[in-house]
């Protein structure tokens, strides 16, 4: 008999400054759909029973009907959004997905869920880099995130290393076939490439 995975909260990380894009990435269209809507659709297919958005309440997704939560600690990068989501989530596992990573699939995210437990999430690793914005963390990792935000190194790499040291995540090596899932849209030139596809 197959064991049911622990309940999941899925979080869309949409609070970045989008400085390289020159406008809010969440509202940029990808294949005719705003990025935030595209990514929410992916999250909805993961079977999560709670979905949250990390971002500004006055942004384009503000009237979506999905709960939007602003960072508790400002100007500390994406880890602040992760920490806020871990605090707000009501489930033991918390899935993070960046708004600018539209090639990510629900199938890959579900594979991470299958490799997670109540106390241990799963973080992809690609060429020695932890992909913490398409990953699953246990809610309990919020203690680590909050502690790191009080220091000087707010990087997701630091956060994941600490989670590994505390046995709160397992590292999942990304295969060559899966590399394209992690491509992000950071600048207008990236959008031009999607129009060629």
pLDDT score for 95: 98
Confidence (pTM): 0.90
Place of tokens 């707010």: 154
Confidence band, pLDDT 50/70/90 cuts, at residue 19: very low
Give the three-state DSSP class for 134: strand
Q: Which of 66, 86, 72 is nearest to 132 (CA)?
A: 86
Quick check: 112 and 8 in contact, CB under 8 A? no
pLDDT score for 24: 67
Instruction: Taking residues 90-96, report their average pLDDT.
Output: 97
Quick check: 160 and 122 in contact, CB under 8 A? no
Neighbours of 191 (CB within 10 A): 16
Place of tokens 């297919």: 45
% of the chain residues with pLDDT over 90: 75
Can you tell me the distance from the alpha carbon of 119 to that of 138, in angstroms, rounded to the nearest whole number?
Answer: 6
Tokens for 154, please give them: 């707010």
Can you tell me the distance from the alpha carbon of 149 to that of 143, in angstroms, rounded to the nearest whole number?
Answer: 10
8-180: which CATH topology?
Spore Coat Polysaccharide Biosynthesis Protein SpsA; Chain A (3.90.550)
Instruction: Taking residues 36-42, report their average pLDDT.
Output: 95
Residue-wise pLDDT for 107-122, tens only, equals 999 999 999 999 999 9
Quick check: 59 and 73 in contact, CB under 8 A? no
């Amino acid at each position: 008999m197959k064991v049911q995975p622990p309940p999941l909260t899925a979080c869309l990380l949409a609070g970045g400054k989008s400085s390289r894009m020159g406008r809010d990435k969440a509202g940029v269209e990808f294949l005719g759909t705003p990025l935030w809507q595209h990514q929410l659709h992916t999250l909805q297919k993961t079977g999560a029973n709670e979905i949250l958005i990390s971002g500004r309440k006055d942004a384009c997704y503000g009237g979506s009907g999905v709960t939007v939560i602003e960072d508790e600690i400002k100007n500390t990068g994406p880890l602040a959004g992760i920490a806020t989501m871990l605090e707000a989530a009501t489930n033991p596992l918390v899935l993070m997905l960046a708004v600018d990573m539209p090639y990510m699939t629900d199938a890959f995210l579900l594979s991470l869920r299958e490799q997670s437990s109540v106390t241990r999430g799963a973080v992809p690793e690609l060429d020695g880099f932890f992909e913490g914005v398409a990953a699953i963390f246990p809610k309990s990792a919020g203690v680590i995130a909050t502690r790191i935000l009080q220091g000087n190194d707010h990087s997701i790499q630091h956060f994941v290393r600490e989670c590994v040291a505390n046995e709160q995540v397992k590292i999942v090596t990304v295969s060559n076939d899966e590399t394209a899932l992690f491509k992000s849209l950071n600048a207008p030139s990236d959008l031009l490439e999607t129009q060629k596809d």
